[in-house]
Structure 1
């Protein structure tokens, strides 16, 4: 089996697994304490959580705090529904290529929602007109389907000028690129070789939000519920390793990208070729039956789009936003690679995909 679906999830780093096991010990071990208890086991668990929080905070700009969540979707909902614009019905603006966690939450908020267009390259114009009365602007750093990098710094500056808060979905950027400046930032551990089921919301100092679930008042009163020391510790180690390896991983991914572009020279690239994260290769081939391709190349793990929308059978909203018609969107695939992908695996996958696609005529 060759795994080429790194945008959906990344393989767990072995160092992360080792750290997590330390906090999963049963009786006789030390890992089962509740981090919110005040006895010795509880204090040990709490210390592990706080070490992890510090490691994860290093991914973000200075001057903020990390709130643990179950993942980026919860972090995004907590930010958008909990901030003042989300509560009071001020205008919200989002890009047309936002993840559904942002897109659908924005539609559910009480104020007007403006969808900012992108061009054929899949990038928001940094000078795009913003609506009057804007309270919240949300633009992702790296798109999950086509990998394009958005001009987040410029858009954040414009949000500040407009007196609006800025939310950045940095799920596909964290651990791979320096995370952009924002007021609120959402990330998920399993996108940078950490465990599933945990993420974080970063809040800039001075940004206040309201909790969306009541209960025990954990996480500074913003997110009630008992934290898992194993998940927190695993995410912390994943963040630490990602920062240590960022240049090395980027160089490896860039080399794989260059080779992949040679191997798939007959395919058309979706999205900008330069302003993108190069571990994301979204390709199309006119007339391609992707369902048949997946069946013929079942020993490969790859995607026809976002894993979150894989059951809908609808053409990709993201590919539609960059101008592709439904037939072109349905003839597109996404290959994702990263730290543990080898050149030999990529070449073997290309042989299978090119051969299977050619047999379709």
Structure 2
């Protein structure tokens, strides 16, 4: 293992360790904040609400602290440990922290809002604002930590490693090489997105009608996010001298890989569920990152010491040929 690989592995370990520590701190802080108002809490705290907005699950106040600590700590720590095992601490570590903020904020926040309430008021309590605020906070913290931990480019780029039988374009060096294609979302993706949008848009309308503004806003934002993500599944893939870019709606950049960070490209076949566990921006147990929108041929970028990136594109063979031609030219220029 060379020095760069050791540095990358150490970075994953550090990201996982810091994320685990933050999860513990977030969990302890949330439970401590709730403990400080324990004398104001009702004997039975609402912890689950039915479709009609009425509380239908309760927990004794003496058990709520342990339950919230376990609920807010174990699942996020499990996510962080999975990231460590998969050497994906830079990604799953921040996700685990964001999840801890969301779960801790929701469980402790919903209980905190019930302080001083009578049993009847507890039964009709509304966790909507706790859901909305903790959800937004979880996203902000998770994304912020990911930006801190994300891998920095290797100085000077990676060495070209294009296989002899890899696809290439038969063109002279002075000829400008570029390729533009698209990702194509399969019908299965649209079905899942349609179900998800309906499952959040309908509760949003009913929540607004019932006066639960916090929950209504949360569901509406989730439905809007799913709609944008669905539209963004059809993205433009551009291969050129700067590198490979996957961009959707003119705003969302799924990937932007400089040419200096690409060692070569191949064509592979992808089964979304088997190889990546689903569709979208994914990663698998082999350490591959993926922009997966459909089954079939895909462009696989070898990023040297970084994780490979798999992109399901139209005419993956032509895309790989363009990438390999540009990478080979770059290698010649540095000889």
Structure 1 length-normalised TM = 0.25
In terms of Rg, which structure is larger? 2
Structure 2 length-normalised TM = 0.26
Specify which structure has the bigger relative contact order, considering alpha-carbon pairs within 8 angstroms and separated by 6 or more residues: 1
Structure with the higher helix share, 1 or 2: 2
